[in-house]
Structure 1
Amino acid sequence: MSARSYLLSSVFTAAVWAAGSSVAQAQTNAIPDPRLGSWFVGTVVLPGGPKHWGGYVELQSRANGTFRQFFYYETKGGVSYDLAKNFTFMLAGGRYSTSDYRDLSEGPLNTEKRLWEQLTLTHYSARLKMEHRYRVEQRWFTFRDDVVPAGSFRYRNRIRYRFNTFLPLNHATFVDKTVFLSVYDEVFFNPRGPFFERNRVYAGAGYQFDKHFTVQAGWVNQANYTPASYRQNTFVPQTNIAKNNLVFSVIYRISRRNQVVPAPEFVPSQPD
């Protein structure tokens, strides 16, 4: 890829994200959360080996404020299979717990058990690495005191798509001591409605110490959408509650023993 083509590709990607955000804001009433939240992610990855099988486990917590008011925890893991060089299927599941940070002693407001099937396609174009991720989720909820809030359901399906880009800065590929940038946009669709349920935008920087350890820090904006309604002769448009968060993640990649062929290049993708 020439320098001109690379620049045009970058500009086009940025323009698409900006246009999508502008359209979403124009069609909804945006309600920003003034607090800056924080996410913490720790992941252990077993990459696909000679027999194509791999997997991962992850722990994550989220806070309503910066390093305080923790209210959300999740544990998850899965197994993966490399269908081709840059094409991976994954089957995974997890448990998710949401509480009221003002009174954690009362226990979770709800817990969720989730199962999902996922396909990931990675494309390498000169220095720029691009990842397309497609996920279908099955979700089971348990609510506090077994009371289902209005508009909620004990079982839901969801579809997700994420486009993620990576740019190593001081090396052409991801090797030891690589500084890199990462940007992604992920959209969430709910068949029950609102069909467009959530949008998540991330921008950050990271450092790959060696073939094992990678750290990242960045910003993520997560916007949740509620459906429009018409009740008692009053029309309420679709609204969107958006929150900015700091994100800190650590990824540890396990090396396989007796690796006969050179290990392929891996992008530092966050499994979440």
Structure 2
Amino acid sequence: MTRDEHPLKCIDLYKHYGKKPVLEGIHLSLAPGQVLGLIGRNGAGKSTLIRCLLGLSEADQGQALVFGEKSYFMSDATKARLTYVPQQPTSLGWLRVSDMLAFVARFYPQWDQAMVERLLDRWEIDRKQSMAKLSPGERQRLALIRALAPRPDLLVLDEPAAALDPVARRDLLRQIALQASDMGTTVLFSSHILSDLERVASHVAFLDRGKLLIDGELDGFKERFGRLHVGPEMAARLPAKLAGELRRRPAADAGLSLLLSMDAQAAWPEDLRQACHQATPLGLEDLFVEVVE
């Protein structure tokens, strides 16, 4: 992989289902070794975005690239470098767990059988059980094992912890962190559980109603965004839209409550720049609620 090659990237991506817009002008890229947590409510477009990024669904407009190749026309060599776990993983129901894993292992020269055995034991999955008789949580855990064992260059997980209990979810997050740090794996995983993202993600992106609202490095998020109240006089002088403005609401005193990216201060009016030291910093959860509410 060349240094300037992004494992996953999309440019101006649009997708409609009938007349309903699902993705609107998405720009997103993952650098090698990055762990990106994609945050959004149910119905925000996370699964559709992931499917378009991986070429499982064709976008109406824009471009999606995987290791520099158009995702909808990926070569077999590029497909072998990634693994994907959908929100509702399907399985070969007529096979036993051990038979399914042995079958899949043949396609991956870097298959880590020791990891497989360790996770099967830790998550108490019966190797002799038929796939059709597994519980939803067991099927999801098994799908995760199948995705981790090839030691992929790119790992994509859509709501990977949805059916997991807290212990299994913590184990999953630990595995993601190990995969990224030890193997340099690039990871994209979607979730609406913010605590999961904060444990393992290096970067986050907020998706709401098909639009990417915020994306960036997780460290420093509290310093990058803040809520600022301005009085009526200053509010009357402000332009209709400020650089870096995420949201504005009328305040009880006829002023405004502004949600702002502090990175854009240089473009603000002077009196607003002077007032920005009074802004209240926001944590990840508060910021998410503010921008999608």
Q: TM-score, normalised by structure 1?
A: 0.24
Higher strand share: 1
Q: TM-score, normalised by structure 2?
A: 0.23
Structure with more contact order per residue of length (Cα contacts < 8 Å, sep ≥ 6): 2
Q: Highest Rg: 1 or 2?
A: 2
